[in-house]
Copies of this chain bind each other. A is one copy, B any other.
């Protein structure tokens, strides 16, 4: 059976060339980059060069502003908990949004529950956008940190981050953005955006799992989250994951070189999918904006039916998709993001996310458009809520 992977928002295949670039670090240049001998120095050269690749992708001012982590979650934890703990003498109020990834929400909840911080969770509109007036209105005397994601991983909504950073700067609020869904997929310029911190993760753009980075603007203070050795400018202990870091560097370079094509390719397929679904399936609800959304993200609610049942049927046809985010599958609660944009519980349970990647083709889209309508109809026919 033909297998079509449309869950690139969850994770992507590692590019074979990235893997090739990583291989010497496993078996030849296997030294610890903190060691002064030649094995270590070889590894250090590789890590330094990857750091520059990351720097260039996001236009950071210097490679020292890049802190390697074990992924997007750790980058978010370091940013949110690290900046909160470092700033707690100035104040204990944090601003975030209701539709952040759990890797931001859970650190915030932890700070609230265990460490006496106050967190404002900003609402979003029906498209999933945080409004600048709400943002400004939430800033208080003791606000030290704001974290608003660049793009939502479920419904693909892009946020007007630049507006927030201007307001944050005016009030001396450190601003973090979770750009895990954006980095490597859309052009990104931390200077232009004006963010203080930005999280990314290699496996979301054809790099390896288990490695990511936090951009930390020079001068911004955070406490380490991984307490240990003196690595990463004393901000992140633990022996460097040299192959992973080299893989991240490789995909950053690759993303820079292929960015324009990639965006164009994904947007074309995305719009084909969205329009095709709307044409072929009655009663659909597109989640997120039609245009200001991630180039590879398609997200619908199909009334009367349940998401997992759609996924299982798609899987039986060889199509890998998701409903909500991968890390919450297994949980029974409907997506906080869909509830956040005002969907009812019933609708929230009936959602489908198709996320495109660089390997997808027009044929893939056509195949989905061929099988999905039947699946939805079959499930509707089974549903006690459907009356047609």
Interface residues of A (CB under 8 A from B): 3, 5, 7, 10-14, 16, 19, 23, 26-28, 30-32, 34-40, 70-74, 76-77, 81, 85, 101-103, 106-107, 109-110, 114, 201, 203, 208-211, 223-231, 237-244, 308, 311-312, 314-315, 318-322, 325-331
Contact = CB atoms under 8 A, between A and B. Distances in A.
Given A231-B327, A243-B208, A72 B238 contact: yes
Contacts of A208: 26, 241, 243
Nearest to A12: B30
A242 B14 CA distance: 12
7 contacts: A7-B32, A37-B319, A71-B238, A103-B227, A103-B238, A109-B227, A230-B328
A37 B321 contact: yes
A219 to B, nearest CB: 21
Given A11-B31, A31-B11, A210 B103 contact: no
Copies per complex?
2
Given A36-B312, A315-B36, A329-B35, A26 B13 contact: yes
Given A10-B32, A11-B31, A73-B237, 14 more contacts: A3-B39, A10-B239, A14-B26, A14-B243, A34-B329, A70-B70, A70-B71, A74-B238, A81-B227, A102-B229, A103-B228, A110-B227, A201-B239, A209-B244
Contacts of A23: 19
A308 B315 CA distance: 58
Given A73-B228, A229-B327, A30 B10 contact: no
A315 B38 contact: yes
Nearest to A316: B38
Given A19-B23, A26-B208, A209-B241, A308 B103 contact: no
Nearest to A308: B36
Nearest to A1: B38
B209 A322 contact: no
A331 B11 contact: no
Contact of A19 (B5, B26, B40, B224): B26
A232 to B, nearest CB: 11
Contacts of A326: 32, 34-35, 40, 229, 239
Contacts of A101: 228
A14 B22 CA distance: 12
Contact of A241 (B102, B210, B240, B318): B210
Contacts of A325: 229
Contacts of A7: 31-32, 35, 37, 39-40
A189 B376 CA distance: 52
Give 3 nearest A-B pairs by CB, closest first: A229-B327, A210-B241, A70-B70
